[in-house]
Amino acid sequence: MSDREVVVCRTGTANLASVLAGLRRAGGAPRMAERPDEVRAASLVMLPGVGAFGAAMENLRASGMAAPLRERMAAGKPTLSICVGLQLLCRTSEESPGVAGLGLVDAAVTRFPDSVRAPQFGWNRIDAAEGCAALTSGHAYFANSYRLAETPAGWSAAIADHGGPFVAAMERGAVVACQFHPELSGAYGRSLLERWIARPC
């Protein structure tokens, strides 16, 4: 089967070289989105992110990508968000007070407690809840200071622990969001990308 096209949104804060290479290894044919209508029309869309919540949202709004991203995820179209990309689905973040996220999830992103190192750098165990289709249990690579503390209503999640449980990843139909970096998570991350790319659109 030929590689499937994945349209990748620019957030201005992502390590795109690693993301694009990870998608290619998993059978995707990634290309960067140049216009908002490409995000609306694409079969598969990825929202990557590294860095600050506020800077990523500013870039999405400036490029016109915020509205089509919100629309496609609300409609359940295949979309994968990673790292800060997961946090952008939320209403707000403590990292960037006063900046509104995409608002798909009515929750605030909060910083890890002072009792643990932040940022969290490295591998951590995640446990997927029953009913997850894309997500499985295993070990994944994280690089984050902020997290979504509770599973949102209507989503299935995989949970990790760093100063208490937090959402390592979550899914709702064809919309999947990972706080960890699948492109840096070895065979575990590659298998997740392969399942998401191969999912019927």
The span from the CA of 104 to the CA of 118, in Å, is 26
Choose among 180, 193, 139, 177: nearest CA to 26: 193
**DSSP state letters, 35-57:** SHHHHHH-SSEEE---S-HHHHH
Tokens found for residue 3: 């590689």
What structural domains does the chain harbor? 4-198 (3.40.50.880)
pLDDT, position 201: 63
Task: Print pLDDT tens along the chain (201 aa).
Answer: 357 999 999 887 667 899 999 999 999 999 999 999 999 999 999 999 888 999 999 999 999 999 999 999 999 999 999 999 999 999 999 999 999 999 999 999 999 999 999 999 999 999 999 989 999 999 999 999 999 999 999 999 999 999 999 999 999 999 999 999 999 999 999 999 999 999 876
pLDDT, position 21: 95
Q: What is the DSSP letter of 119?
A: S
> Which residues, in sequence order, are bridge partners of residue 125?
139
Query: Is there a contact between 145 and 111 (Cβ–Cβ < 8 Å)?
Result: yes
Query: Is there a contact between 122 and 141 (Cβ–Cβ < 8 Å)?
Result: yes
Other beta carbons within 10 Å of 24: 14
| Active site residue ranges | 83, 181, 183
pLDDT, position 1: 39
pLDDT, position 199: 84
